[in-house]
């Protein structure tokens, strides 16, 4: 009978525990696998633990390693993300089993009074089911409210991992030292311990509550990081908008002045032609063309805000001897916020101008801007010449470009070919702009 109980507890219930661990681990990673994979993992884990006798702490580490290996090999998940969720699911199950042991130690006398002959079996089955049910509830809460972190956010995972490790060690001390002692059961079903089960139950409930408090605090910290990033973007937007407004005002004043004088210019040309001074009239018209060209935008994208920005940036580049070319077409309106497009182009062109300025005087310097909308996608490409290493460094605005790309569920990539660097940005055009504004 004892052998059957040991087999049931080690292999059957052990497989169920491993199945539940791996199932929720996969769910937290937001991945999918075939059903048989869960069973294969559970069986392999139980057999491994059967043949490899390890202590409690080592067993915890071994389960975490098994889950990490599954996350990395099967789903190609980042190491930090796999480590965090592997430790988290094992920690939750350990805490739930700790609560179950304390609670059942309190309830055992009542169970013994009802099931005197089978109290031990009922004790074991009821405890396993209760621990698994509590674990499932906790896993669902983590999956619902505290999962799906990006790679950028995972760099702060040590803020969670270290407190979780401390809670685990505390719980393992209680389970192994306190409940690992020899238990004496009296005839009336009371269990003789040198400790107070109610106190331990409260401590372990506080432990799992602390775990969720840590996850909640971590979530709030990440929200603050996002808000700080958005604030820095807004500050840059404000500064850029101020520049664009001033540029627009200056351009408007020049255009207004030219329109005011156009009648006088026409009268002068008419008078020259009437007096037979054709050459002078042509020279005067040439001067008028130069003035009109100065009032036009170097790049006509069909978006007036972007025209001002790109015109300003490419005008600066042209004045310092950089060849510029622009074939960017943006139907207006196009479902994207003008300021978001300006953030991408402003940072990209600033980087391109900086790279060209650092080139030797005899090198060919150029900047090419192109892009178009195809279906629900906006594809932009900014290519420029550069020389040497260290073109892309911290603080050059690439993080802002990446943030905007991710905001529209797109992507950013940088490629170099010899002395040319190419920045590609892909944005998915939303059907409802207010959804993006609210993010």
Instruction: Using 50 as the pLDDT threshold, list the residues of the chain that sit under it.
Output: 181-182, 390, 394-395, 433-439
Q: What is the pTM of this model?
A: 0.49
SS3 content of the chain, % helix, strand, coil (to 5): 70, 10, 20
DSSP state of 12: I
pLDDT confidence of residue 181: 46
In this predicted model, what pLDDT tens digit does every residue of 21-55 receive, in sequence order? 999 899 888 888 888 889 998 888 888 877 776 65
Query: Are the C-beta atoms of 111 and 122 separated by less than 8 Å?
Result: yes
| Cβ neighbour number for residue 116 with a 10 Å cutoff | 10
Q: In what order do the strands lie in the sheet with 323-328?
A: 323-328, 366-374, 377-385, 420-428, 411-417
d(CA 23, CA 21): 6
Token duo for residue 310:
């790109």
pLDDT confidence of residue 412: 92
d(CA 144, CA 269): 75
pLDDT confidence of residue 241: 63
| Cβ neighbour number for residue 91 with a 10 Å cutoff | 23
d(CA 391, CA 241): 26
d(CA 200, CA 99): 8
pLDDT confidence of residue 121: 67
pLDDT confidence of residue 365: 92
Token duo for residue 45:
């884990």
Within 275-364, residue ranges assigned H as helices are: 278-295, 304-319, 338-357
């Amino acid at each position: 009978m004892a052998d059957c109980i040991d087999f049931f507890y080690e292999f059957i219930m052990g497989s169920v525990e491993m199945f539940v661990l791996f199932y929720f681990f996969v769910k937290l990673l937001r991945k999918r696998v075939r059903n048989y994979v869960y069973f294969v993992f559970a069986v392999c884990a139980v057999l491994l633990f059967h043949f490899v006798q390890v202590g409690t702490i080592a067993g915890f580490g071994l389960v975490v390693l098994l889950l990490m290996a599954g996350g990395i090999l099967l789903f190609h998940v980042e190491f930090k993300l796999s480590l965090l969720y592997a430790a988290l699911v094992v920690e939750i199950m350990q805490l739930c089993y700790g609560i179950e042991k304390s609670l059942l130690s309190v309830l055992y006398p009542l169970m013994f009074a009802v099931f005197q002959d089978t109290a031990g079996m009922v004790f074991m089955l009821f405890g396993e089911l209760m621990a698994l049910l509590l674990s499932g509830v906790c896993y669902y809460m983590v999956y619902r409210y505290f999962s799906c972190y990006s790679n950028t956010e995972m760099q702060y995972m040590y803020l969670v991992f270290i407190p979780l490790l401390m809670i685990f060690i505390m719980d393992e001390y209680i389970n192994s030292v306190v409940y690992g002692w020899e238990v004496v059961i009296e005839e009336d079903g009371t269990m003789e311990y040198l400790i107070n089960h109610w106190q331990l139950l409260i401590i372990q409930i506080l432990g799992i509550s602390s775990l969720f408090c840590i996850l909640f605090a971590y979530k709030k910290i990440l929200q603050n990081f996002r808000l700080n990033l958005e604030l820095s973007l807004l500050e840059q937007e404000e500064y850029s908008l101020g520049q664009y407004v001033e540029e627009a005002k200056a351009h408007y004043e020049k255009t207004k002045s030219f329109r005011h004088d156009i009648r006088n210019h026409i009268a002068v040309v008419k008078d020259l032609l009437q007096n037979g001074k054709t050459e002078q009239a042509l020279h005067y018209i040439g001067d008028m063309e130069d003035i009109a060209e100065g009032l036009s935008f170097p790049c006509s994208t069909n978006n007036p805000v972007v025209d001002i920005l790109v015109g300003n940036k490419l005008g600066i580049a042209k004045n310092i001897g950089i060849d510029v070319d622009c074939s960017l077409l943006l139907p207006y309106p196009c479902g994207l916020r003008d300021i978001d497009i300006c953030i991408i182009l402003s940072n990209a062109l600033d980087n391109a101008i900086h790279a060209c300025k650092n080139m030797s005087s005899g090198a060919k310097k150029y900047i090419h801007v192109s892009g178009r909308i195809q279906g629900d996608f906006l594809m932009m490409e900014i290519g420029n010449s550069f020389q040497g290493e260290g073109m892309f460094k911290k603080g050059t605005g690439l993080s802002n470009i990446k943030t905007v790309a991710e905001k529209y569920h797109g992507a950013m990539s940088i490629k170099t070919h010899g002395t040319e660097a190419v920045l590609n940005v892909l944005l998915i055009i939303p059907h409802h702009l207010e959804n993006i504004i609210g993010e």
